[in-house]
């Protein structure tokens, strides 16, 4: 089983839609969780960390479910500029390694 | 400006010709790491360094070497490059290597080995 698994998509949604991505992880000892955004052929950039109680940053909401070992990202009121690949990132439990999912591709259309 | 700088950004070379990709960060970060990204495989860690003179293998270290003689620099060395090392490479750094801190990525280096 892969350490971190994501639905690769692509998710094609109209502007203004709400879209949600899920990501599952295999290591129950993992303690740190992040969502990164990557534009085509560019470097990954941190979108937000994911906290146990869930957290929100503007139109973006991240949730963590430790019992089921998944994290989610909700994007409300999608913008054209949200089109990108979203990477789920989980630390490996040992503390040092970060495991990246393969990414979920989002395309927001006019 | 806080940044991670990789050079070169693009390189086309031939099998067997040694090459070095440099990585430098100006944030006084202790942790640095190299990844490669390939279609369908996502980001995979090659090597990482917890601090000066401390390096360790990631998931795909074969064919690569690294060194960490100074805190700010973490070069990636391909002693005898082969076509299967054609990839997009990213260097990243974070304050510490505890896995609970986000990483800052360089712009990437696109290597083509013919």
What is the rounded distance in angstroms from the CA atom of residue B78 to the CA atom of residue B64? 5
Q: Within 13 Å of residue B54, how many CA atoms lie on the same side as its CB?
A: 11
Nearest to B111 by CA among B83, B80, B88, B79: B88
User: Taking 60 as the threshold, does the pLDDT of residue A95 lie above it?
Assistant: no
Average pLDDT, chain A: 91
**Spatial distance between the Cα atoms of B7 and B24, rounded to a whole number of angstroms:** 9
Nearest to A32 among B35, B41, B100 (CB): B100
* pLDDT at position A9 over 90: no
Question: Do A32 and B42 make contact, defined as CB atoms within 8 angstroms?
Answer: no
- Can you spell out the DSSP letters for B3-67? -EEEE-SEEEE-TT--EEEEEEESS--SEEEEEEEETTTEEEEEEEEEETTEEEE-S--TT-EE-
Quote the longest CA-to-CA distance of chain A: 44
Question: Which residue in B has a C-alpha nearest to residue A51's C-alpha?
Answer: B100
Q: What is the pLDDT of residues B16-30, one digit of tens each?
A: 999 999 999 999 999
pLDDT tens figures, B47-106: 999 899 999 998 899 999 999 999 999 999 999 999 999 999 999 999 876 666 788 999
* pLDDT at site A96: 63
């Amino acid at each position: 089983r892969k350490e971190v698994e994501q639905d690769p998509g692509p998710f094609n949604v109209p502007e203004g839609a709400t879209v949600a991505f899920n990501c599952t992880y295999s290591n129950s000892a993992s303690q740190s969780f992040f969502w990164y955004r990557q534009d085509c052929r560019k470097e990954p950039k941190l979108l937000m960390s994911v906290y146990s109680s869930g957290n929100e940053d503007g139109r973006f909401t991240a949730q963590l479910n430790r019992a089921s070992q998944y994290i989610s990202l909700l994007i409300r009121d999608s913008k054209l500029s949200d089109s990108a690949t979203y990477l789920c990132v989980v630390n490996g439990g040992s503390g040092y390694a970060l495991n990246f999912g393969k990414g979920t591709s989002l395309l927001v259309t006019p | 400006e806080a940044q991670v700088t990789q050079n070169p950004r693009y390189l086309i070379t031939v099998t067997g010709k040694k090459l070095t990709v440099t990585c430098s960060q100006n944030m006084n970060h202790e942790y640095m790491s190299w990844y490669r990204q390939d279609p369908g495989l996502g980001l995979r860690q090659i090597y990482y360094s917890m601090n000066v003179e401390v390096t360790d293998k990631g998931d795909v270290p074969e064919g690569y070497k690294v060194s960490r003689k100074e805190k700010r620099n973490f070069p990636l060395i391909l002693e005898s490059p082969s076509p299967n090392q054609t990839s997009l490479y990213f260097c990243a750094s974070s304050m510490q290597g505890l896995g609970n801190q986000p990483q800052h990525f360089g712009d990437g280096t696109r290597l083509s080995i013919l």
